[in-house]
Amino acid sequence: MAHHQILIIGGGTGGIMTAAQLKRKDSKLDVAIIEPSDKHYYQPAWTLVGAGTYDYQKTIREEKRYIPKGVKWIKDWVTSLDPKENAVDTAEQGRLTYDYLIVSPGMVNNLDAIDGLEDTLGKNGVCSVYTDPNYVWEVLKNTQKGQAVFTQPAGAFKCGGAPQKIMYLAEHHFRKKGVRKDVNVVFATPGSVIFGVKDFKETLDKIIEERDIYFKPFHKPIAIDGPNKIATFEITDAEKAALEVIDTLGEKKIEGNILTMPFDMLHTAPPMRAPDFVRHSELAYADGPMKGYGEVDIHSLQNKNFANVFIIGDAAGLPTAKTGAAIRKQAPVVVENILELMAHQKLSDERYEGYSSCPLVTGYGSMVLAEFKYDNVRDSDPLISTFVDTTQEQYSMWLLKKYGLPYLYWNHMLRGRL
């Protein structure tokens, strides 16, 4: 049975960043990463791919290029966790044991949560930048009239701003092609507002109004009929939404709080959840709003029941947005805590305050950089915000999104330098 001083589950952003930072702090550490995939994807650029302004192939690189020097790569699938025995079970190599465990496997799609989604996603004009951004661009190019509906699921999902980013880009594309007057653009969300942080919400509300985008809050997608191009929504707050039916959109109230809406293009973020080996383990919340996600202290990221286990990234049960930017702030906290536990059997003074960031692309050449922390408190970078009002659309922030962030990701974040 193989044993490692520090075992990391997941070779995505969180796993690679923590491994790289640990080895930079102490090259003698015995660190191993469990990751089955040969490829590493820069998914934040998939929204741009879906809008035809980024090459999908440039978002893919070989995983082996980013496994830090001196870190063992265990190319396998995790099947279950046994934290009482400090053990992880894998599909091919059996049981592995550890002194410290870092859990960073991301999220998995849960297509069954919306009736009909699995059967129609990737065809019939039903698309998602989360699964196939090239098909999103194909659908967008072919939409010349009718109705483009953009929606998102109830519950947590990664990169929560992506559904509205591609919506803004699509609306701009329709304008550039001269077909905007023939296409209704609809954003239907289970939420109550376009964005939770006040300063950024005000800007986005103004954009929606100026661009004649139909904003439909309290709309939870429950079924998608691809062949007949009908989306079905449950109104999550019937009193506030007043079950308003807009004839222009072809909406129909069918029963109770349920209505249907036709579409020619439908973009959605698939429902997501933590992987089964996390959900069904003793590391996860058994109930409540974070059910199935890793049960951690929100500032130390230490599991509440097993002191030698830390959970970061999308699988962690944290009241903040699930983004790569969040992981960039989480990784150093985990690294310092593990090193302090090793040396002095106590946690470090490092704290994660819930920082996350959503680079809200609002069109070809414009972006609002939304940065925030726990309780939806604005948390903008003091240096950037000295020179740029990040609550407003900026061309400089578009350049950061398209060119700066990918460079920083591949060359600094994954190398443990940022």
The residues carrying an active-site annotation are 159, 358
Q: Could you tell me if 62 and 178 are in contact, meaning their C-beta atoms sit under 8 angstroms apart?
A: no
Q: Could you tell me if 207 and 216 are in contact, meaning their C-beta atoms sit under 8 angstroms apart?
A: no
Backbone angles phi, psi at 166, to 5 degrees: -70, -30
Query: For residues 343, 347, 351 and 354, what is the CA-based torsion angle, rounded to 10 degrees?
Result: 120
Q: Could you tell me if 373 and 288 are in contact, meaning their C-beta atoms sit under 8 angstroms apart?
A: no
Token couple for 113: 């949560």
- Of the chain, the end-to-end C-alpha distance in Å amounts to 35
340 exposure class (CB count in 10 Å sphere: 0-12, 13-18, 19+): middle
- How many other CB atoms are found less than 10 A from the CB of residue 24? 13
224 exposure class (CB count in 10 Å sphere: 0-12, 13-18, 19+): buried
* CA 361 to chain centroid: 15
Nearest alpha carbon to residue 283 among 296, 300, 297: 296
- β-sheet with 126-127: strand ranges across: 126-127, 265-268, 146-151, 183-188, 214-216
Where helices occur in 59-182 by DSSP H, the ranges are 117-120, 133-142, 162-176
- How many other CB atoms are found less than 10 A from the CB of residue 283? 26
Listed in sequence order, the residues at least 6 apart from 276 whose beta carbon sits closer than 8 Å to its beta carbon are 108
Q: How many CA atoms are closer than 13 Å to the CA of 204, on its beta-carbon side?
A: 27
Listed in sequence order, the residues at least 6 apart from 148 whose beta carbon sits closer than 8 Å to its beta carbon are 167, 170, 171, 174, 183, 184, 185, 186, 263, 264, 265, 266, 267
Backbone angles phi, psi at 104, to 5 degrees: -145, 60
* Rounded Cα distance, 145 and 206, in Å: 24
